[in-house]
Structure 1
Amino acid sequence: MPRIYKRKTGRASTPLQDMDRAVKEVEKGKSIREVARQMNICRMTLKRYMEKKKIDGKEIRPGYERTGLANQVFDEHMEKELAEHIKALAAMFHGLSPMKCRELAFEYAQRNDISIPASWIREEKAGYDWFVAFKERCHLSCRTPEATSLGRATAFNRHNVGEFFDNLSKVMDRYNLLPHRIYNMDETGVTTVQTPKQIVTEKGKKQVGSVTSAERGELVTVACAVNATGNAIPPMFVFPRVRFKEQFLNGSPAGSVGHSTRSGWMNEEAFIIFMEHFIRQTNCSTNNPVLLILDNHESHISLKAVTTAKENGVVMLTLPPHTSHRLQPLDKTVYYPLKTFYNSAMDGWMRTNPSRTITIYEVPGLVNQAFMSAMTPRNITSGFRVTGIFPFNRDIFPDEDYAPSMLTDRPNPEEPSTSSATDLPGSSHEEPTHATGQEAGPDPTSPELNPEQPSSGLTGFAQLGYVSPEAILPLPARKARMKRKKIKSKIMTDTPEKMELERAQKEREDKMAEKEKKQNERQMKRALKKKNLTKFKKMNKTVVYSSSEESIMAIPLNDTTDNDKAGHDLEKTHNKEKKRGEKKKSSENKKRVIKPTKPKKKVVVSNSSEDSDISIPLNDTTDYDSSDVQNDDDDDDGDKDLSAGDFVIVNFAGKTKSYNYIGLVEKVDGADISAKFLRRSSKKSLDGKPIFTFKENDEGVIPREDVRKKLPTPKKLGGTARREQKFIFPCSIDKWDVM
């Protein structure tokens, strides 16, 4: 048997109204044959209908009796309850997919001990044929839902909408506003890439393409304002550029203005420009005020914007958060046709200019074409009407529109609720009391339930153990509200709201000043810590000699014949320096810093007069090189003249230690040096010297005082372009521990 049966004949298809009319004519005294001929009804059908009505004494349905009820899985009452639960979930934006509906029907039948086909048990879900027939019987259909954020689903509730209409009525009564003084403002984004429309092509083709300007385009923001009489002011364009130029507006609607931001989005500065443009176009003043309805984006409610509006007679009324899809006239009836006409204009431009791409400079001209077609009085006035703004209608939205917000509704604490089950529009309340996750009641299998439960002749139906669909798949449960401040609809130009903005801005400025002060203190502490750490390291890692002790380094330790004389001179010199240090300040002694590069050894020098030995820490004499002592003085090479192209050793101080790097000077600017840095390679040259190479994007500006040594010009390995970037220095740099 086919899924949808098509009648072969017209028998038993007489409308019930025609049969009732025929019966009344017969009751007036006319014959059955005459009435049947006049109303084009079968004589025997009318006769049979009259006989049944006389016997039963009640209304009889003409035609064949329904025989399919005997083969249905659920009776009419259970199917109705299942359908109502599915509709309730869909109304709360938690609808079920076709697969979930079939699984729910299977569990619904099992929990109520209803006989089901073997295919249901095998697949653990209801059959597809049953699902199609179920949709037809219960007036259901499969739809692709529109993605709606949780914020929009819950914020559009009766309380928030009521506050908005309260503020709207207050403003309209206070200023006696006429429809041509009521404006709505909103932004929309247009890109340089259009959305292709449907095209006609060969049937059966798997993939169809259409040329677009690019894969991802640039966004240009268009800000529009319309009033309740159907008029619109010239739009404002916000371009994704750092600097705005007047030629950006070529081809735009007459009177348009423009601005530029880095992202192409509206910000506080751009909105101030729009407010000045809006004030010029509407010719408003404190004696001739206008109402501007807009969303509560942070760029719209800045203190400067509110002050500008109040000084020029613009009353700013904000919409509740996340409700613009319902309360914004531009969103409801204007921007969709605007985008449609804009896409059509882009398609036409691409066909006219097949070898060019659309840039932001063509956007104003394309918007101009769409603006004239979409900003019609019919579209604009329809937007104000369907949102209830003008004509004023606070009851424009039915109860079904508030169903998704019932997830966050709470009962009045002064009126304790007897049940937490959510009352939804269209839900059935004629059923017996069901045990759900949200209801307090007896157990679903208890025999003390309401005796007026659905009766059925179906085998296996447990009347006393009935389980409802809501008990199997409950409605979404309410959760605790988050304890945070909520934004609501406000009249921003009222004095209390303006004072609140001033207080909030002062708090932000104080907070930023405190933050900047703490940041400066941290930088000063960090600089002082770096200076002290560097000084501490030098004191711990160096050997300090006075100017008179420099002669010690010249003592030839390998000459044993002069040891006695050297020891005597050493002791004499040491005693003199000790006395001098007690009389003069240590700062008067010229210091010299020598960084030893090899492990220190104690060399004992004694004299012939058996004086006490003096232990002097010196470098290892086996590898002693007088050139090392001379090169150690090069720590102050940073004071020498530096120019572009010089190689230097630069010191970077970390948190716990400092590091040395080799840099190529690119520019010298007073006390600052721009350098490009090299890194030590893991490989070495044939003679064992380290190889240094440039690291990509390793550049920076350093203070001149961080330069430790100026190096001689290195030798390039050469040979290939890659080896040209590798250097070997002709001097020893091991003691610098260069990274």
Structure 2
Amino acid sequence: MFIFPRKRFQEHFIRDGPTGSVGTANGSGWMQEDDFHFFLEHFKNHVRPSKENKALLLLDNHASHTALKNIESCRDNEIILLTFPPHCTYKLQPLDRAIFGPLKKAINTACDDWMRSNAGKVMSIYDIPSITRSAFNVAITAKNISAGFAATGTWSVNTDIFAEADFLPSQVTDRILPNPKPEQSSSVQETTANVENRPHTPNPTIGTIEFNEARALTQVTSTDQATTSSINQSLPMNNANEPVASTSRARTHLATTSNVFSPESVRPLPKAPPRKNNQPNRRKIKSAVLTDTPIKMK
């Protein structure tokens, strides 16, 4: 489905588009409530859901998708609307995982071929359907479609598709609770500014690393300089009272020690500060089956 930034749609806009494609137009060129309703009719005519064979439509929480008339249309035509949690489509959306990347690459190649074949001409939005047609059959294949559902764990169902490491990016945006409990108030009052402005205190286990690395990490404050002197006393000295360079034996000792040094222990990742609650009545968006839940809150 093509959406053109025009007041009225004309059939010749998609004359050379992929077989079976449709189009609409609005002032912005982005999906609107009426455009999505038109797409649902197009979807219903091709998928033909019924009570015996319902269709599952995965989508995000865009306002056009959650409009009342679109939800009612899906209920009447046996289409189940399932929304993704916010900011998760890059992991959960099959199109994002296996379709959009190859399609964009194929469209870029088709654009290069078009410009070579039409030297001196300027590409317009009306050339996009024909360019997409040549790229569509290259990227939208049964293999890529199946791979998209498999990569998200949708089908075949795989509840262990995501490991703990997939959730690590959310650590730097962990926000402080707006109303912490009394026993937790002392541990949650530190904001990003406090983390960035506090002195850099080395890790207590820093004495197990090599001298040169310790000196590079502990020359910021006077406290660090005192720690450096304590490290120097623990290292072996030669005749010139200089620290002995690290040897393979020392490295072996470092590898077998139970204390593992991490740069994060010296300078932890900053945490996002609390949000300013400018919209106290704003409803939180979560994943939901729109066609099974109440569609109008009273």
Are the equivalent residues in 1 in contact too, given 2:16–2:130 (CA < 8 A)? yes
Are the equivalent residues in 1 in contact too, given 2:3–2:24 (CA < 8 A)? yes
Q: Distance in 2 between matches of 1:260 and 1:295?
A: 21
Cα deviations across residues 38-67 of structure 1 (Å, max 9, x unaligned)?
A: xxxxxxxxxxxxxxxxxxxxxxxxxxxxxx
Confirm whether residue 408 of structure 1 aligns to residue 165 of structure 2: no
Are the equivalent residues in 2 in contact too, given 1:455–1:463 (CA < 8 A)? no
Match of 2:142 among 374, 377, 382: 377
Which amino acid letter does the alignment assign opposite residue 490 of structure 1? A
Query: Do the aligned partners of residues 404 and 468 (structure 1) sit closer, same or farther apart at CA in structure 2, a change above 3 Å counting?
Result: closer
Are the equivalent residues in 2 in contact too, given 1:437–1:471 (CA < 8 A)? no
Alignment of 1:228-627 (within 5 A): 236-406=1-171, 407-408=173-174, 454=208, 462-463=230-231, 469-470=263-264, 472-477=266-271, 479-480=273-274, 483=277, 484-496=282-294, 498-500=295-297, 503=298
SS at match of 1:369: helix
SS at match of 2:126: coil
SS at match of 2:43: helix
Post-superposition offset of 1:249: 1.5
Query: Do the aligned partners of residues 468 and 327 (structure 1) sit closer, same or farther apart at CA in structure 2, a change above 3 Å counting?
Result: closer
Query: Do the aligned partners of residues 346 and 420 (structure 1) sit closer, same or farther apart at CA in structure 2, a change above 3 Å counting?
Result: same
Post-superposition offset of 1:328: 0.9
Which amino acid letter does the alignment assign opposite residue 408 of structure 1? D
Cα deviations across residues 104-144 of structure 1 (Å, max 9, x unaligned)?
A: xxxxxxxxxxxxxxxxxxxxxxxxxxxxxxxxxxxxxxxxx
| Bigger share in helix | 2
SS at match of 1:317: strand
Q: Distance in 2 between matches of 1:465 and 1:290?
A: 72
Are the equivalent residues in 1 in contact too, given 2:16–2:133 (CA < 8 A)? yes
SS at match of 1:321: coil
Post-superposition offset of 1:270: 0.7
1:147 maps to: none
Runs of 4+ displaced beyond 4 Å: 455-461, 464-472, 481-484
Which amino acid letter does the alignment assign opposite residue 277 of structure 1? H
Query: Do the aligned partners of residues 400 and 240 (structure 1) sit closer, same or farther apart at CA in structure 2, a change above 3 Å counting?
Result: same
Post-superposition offset of 1:338: 0.8
Cα deviations across residues 359-413 of structure 1 (Å, max 9, x unaligned)?
A: 22221111111111000111111111111111212321222221121231679x8
2:218 maps to: none
Q: Return 5+ residue gaps in structure 2 as ranges.
A: 189-193, 216-227, 235-260
SS at match of 1:392: coil
Are the equivalent residues in 2 in contact too, given 1:342–1:367 (CA < 8 A)? yes
Which amino acid letter does the alignment assign opposite residue 288 of structure 2? K
Q: Distance in 2 between matches of 1:372 and 1:456?
A: 58
Cα deviations across residues 246-272 of structure 1 (Å, max 9, x unaligned)?
A: 111111122111111112111011110
Are the equivalent residues in 2 in contact too, given 1:238–1:264 (CA < 8 A)? yes
Post-superposition offset of 1:499: 2.8
Query: What RMSD over aligned residues (CA atoms) do the two structures have, in Å?
Result: 3.5
Are the equivalent residues in 2 in contact too, given 1:250–1:361 (CA < 8 A)? no
Are the equivalent residues in 2 in contact too, given 1:296–1:318 (CA < 8 A)? yes
TM-score, normalised by the number of residues in structure 2: 0.70
Q: Distance in 2 between matches of 1:326 and 1:381?
A: 15
| % identical equivalent positions | 40
Q: Distance in 1 between matches of 2:108 and 2:209?
A: 59
SS at match of 2:53: coil
Query: Do the aligned partners of residues 455 and 302 (structure 1) sit closer, same or farther apart at CA in structure 2, a change above 3 Å counting?
Result: closer
Are the equivalent residues in 2 in contact too, given 1:287–1:313 (CA < 8 A)? no
Are the equivalent residues in 1 in contact too, given 2:211–2:232 (CA < 8 A)? no
Post-superposition offset of 1:478: 5.0
Larger radius of gyration: 1
| Bigger share in strand | 1
2:225 maps to: none
Aligned length: 241
Q: Distance in 2 between matches of 1:327 and 1:293?
A: 9
Q: Distance in 1 between matches of 2:72 and 2:174?
A: 36
Are the equivalent residues in 1 in contact too, given 2:174–2:272 (CA < 8 A)? yes
